[in-house]
Amino acid sequence: MHIREMMAEAERSGEPSFSFEYFPPKTAQGVQNLYDRMERMYNFGPKFIDITWGAGGRIAELTCEMVVQAQAYLGLEACMHLTCTDMGEERVNDALRKAYKAGCTNILALRGDPPREKEKWEATDSGFRYARDLVAHIRKTYGNHFDIGVAGYPEGCDDNKDEDSLLDHLKEKVDMGASFIVTQMFYDVDNFIRWVGRVRERGITVPIIPGIMPIATYASFLRRANHMQCKVPEEWMAKLEPVKNDDVAVRDIGKTLVADMCRKILAAGIPHLHFYTMNLAQATRMVLEELNWLPSPDHPLKHALPWKQSLGFGRRGEDVRPIFWRNRNKSYVARTQEWDEFPNGRWGDSRSPAFGELDAYGIGLTGSNEQNRKKWGEPTCIRDIASLFIRYLNNDIEYLPWSEAPVAEEAALIKDNLIDLNNRGLITINSQPAVNGVKSTHPVHGWGPSNGYVYQKAYLEMFISPDLFPEIKRRIEDHPDLTYHAVTRSGNLETNAQSEGPNAVTWGVFPGKEIVQPTIVERISFLAWKDEAFQLGNEWARCYEAGTPSRLMLDEVMNTWYLVNIVNNDFHRGHTIFEVLEGLEIHDMDKVQERQTNGATEATNDAEASA
């Protein structure tokens, strides 16, 4: 979606909006940490993010990679910075191609700062001298595919403090095809509002987006203000100076000052604010809280579909997915990225067998062996695994091998049932409660356009011991409303589903639209998911040394247990699945595998250890 369209939507709705800026970190661990933070900050509700351009080499490549990650895997609309610094036409074209293929539709075109080793900015051979040249090139090459933003300077820039000259340059950039303006950071609101008036007097009508820098610490606040040469109001210094050595007090006072500034900007008719996060969350979150802009039960984050959409190339129209990847969105995107087209309106049988290989980036278990042992301990028996899953359901841990995000809010409806199953050795890895026609604006279950109603069938997915499976199978097949698929790692599939076709487990009814069925259960995609689910378990096992009780126990579970999914096709009855599973329990949940040492075995179950 183009940024100018977002701005128009904010004006039409009367609801202010905001966005975030990030920059490429210098280390691999820093990049991963930032991806995790970007995903958490997605839940703040930004309309888009922008990613600064790292001029030269690996950092420039990382900007492009971060755009791909944001668009395809995080579902964040990204605006990619692109500068003239050290960029000939070939390198500019390469960056634009990568942005295009990532599904990116917004570019912020900048001249850029001179490299550190140069005092004065100089164009490269065959390069672009000014941002207006870059704007003209992008517009000529890609037409209207990219919305193109440019920088605005309410207080001047490093090498030019002549406001009239800068306004002339701004007009030239807009005349060349720029469609929105993002300002440098500032704290003097009165000057900004005056400057906006002068911009409009020049006949520049495109949206203006003010750059807001939250206050994290006194030292960083002063450093950035001095670096950007922006004026700090005297009353701000009077309030911050006395508490400059107390970071908590600085953030608390700073959030109020910045929030008041934001309110004045909004009152002047500017509907969107752009926060320079410096890759940090706390100071920005505090300002959003002060403005009462964070999602809440009264103002929930709106979702077009019940799962996070990918904004990767060709995927914007995708509206149907199998439920199996409900907790592993990135993996699903990675395994389907080579599809020529994506399901829209219905799930076509032809695309099910086309899932990518399991060795692609983003599919396997993340983190080092040491990190994973620290997260999940060293389980040696089924009760240990069950306890770990119960901790996840209680939000004591955020991730599991089969879940890349904290447990969903809607799980609260069936939380006690899920805990009970795990206590009995039925290991639950995916579920959804039944929902019978709640409003599409519901804070937990809602999705899609307003004034609609959404529905869900109860769904449960578990690892099941081979000792319990025959009885579970008998009970399900005796119940007319339940369908199941069960498979072992070796691929022995059993099911009572009458068709290989899709079974919709989530759907919505909206005014003026056909019924939308965005989540399905389907046989062939379940078999593709089966490979991934068992591989994740085996990768978890390999976090422990060969022959240890943890390794042996996890390997046995993955090699002998069933992966089972159950659908209750009567969405009026939410607890039927749990009723059918009542009374089933694994015996010897505390039994520890025999330790293997030098070809021999060492008994380690609890009974022998206590003898």
> In sequence order, which residues have a C-beta less than 8 Å from that of residue 401 and are 6 or more positions away?
365, 376, 536, 537, 539, 540
Q: For position 600, what pLDDT does the model report?
A: 47
Structure tokens at 410: 């809607």
Q: For position 300, what pLDDT does the model report?
A: 87
Pairing, β 562-568 against β 482-488:
antiparallel
pLDDT above 90 for 542: yes
Give the count of alpha carbons within 13 A of 448, CB side only: 25
How is residue 171 annotated by DSSP?
Answer: H
Identify the three-state secondary structure at position 485: strand
Predicted confidence (pLDDT) per residue in 430-455, tens digit: 999 999 999 999 999 999 999 999 99
Q: How far apart are the first and last CA of the chain?
A: 68
β-sheet bridge partners, residue 484: 566
Q: For position 610, what pLDDT does the model report?
A: 35
Highest mean pLDDT among 92-96, 117-121, 481-485: 481-485
> In sequence order, which residues have a C-beta less than 8 Å from that of residue 582 and are 6 or more positions away?
none
Predicted confidence (pLDDT) per residue in 271-312, tens digit: 999 999 999 999 999 999 999 999 988 888 889 999 999 999
* CB of 202 closer than 8 Å to CB of 169: no
Closest by CA to 604, choosing from 559, 566, 549, is 549
Predicted confidence (pLDDT) per residue in 209-250, tens digit: 999 999 999 999 999 999 999 999 999 999 999 999 999 999
Structure tokens at 409: 């809010």
Predicted confidence (pLDDT) per residue in 420-431, tens digit: 999 999 999 999
Predicted confidence (pLDDT) per residue in 54-102, tens digit: 755 567 789 999 999 999 999 999 999 999 876 788 889 999 999 999 9
Q: Point out the catalytic residue in the list 9, 21, 155, 378.
A: 21
Identify the three-state secondary structure at position 563: strand
As a whole number, mean pLDDT of residues 540-561 equals 96
Number of neighbouring beta carbons within 10 Å of residue 138: 23
β-sheet bridge partners, residue 459: 432, 567
Largest CA distance in the chain: 90
Structure tokens at 149: 């933003």
Identify the three-state secondary structure at position 214: coil
Residue type, 174: V
Structure tokens at 307: 């799962």
Q: For position 27, what pLDDT does the model report?
A: 87
Number of neighbouring beta carbons within 10 Å of residue 145: 15
User: For the chain, what percent of residues have pLDDT higher than 70?
Assistant: 92
Interatomic CA distance for residues 88 and 82, integer angstroms = 12
* CB of 397 closer than 8 Å to CB of 391: yes
Q: For position 597, what pLDDT does the model report?
A: 60
Closest by CA to 322, choosing from 518, 149, 164, 175, is 518
Angle, helix 247-267 to helix 189-201, in steps of 10 degrees = 30
Q: For position 451, what pLDDT does the model report?
A: 92
Residue type, 492: N
Q: Please confirm, yes or no, whether 21 is among the known catalytic residues.
A: yes
* CB of 280 closer than 8 Å to CB of 216: yes
Predicted confidence (pLDDT) per residue in 128-148, tens digit: 888 999 999 999 999 999 999
How much is the CA Rg of the chain, to the nearest whole Å? 28
Number of neighbouring beta carbons within 10 Å of residue 590: 13
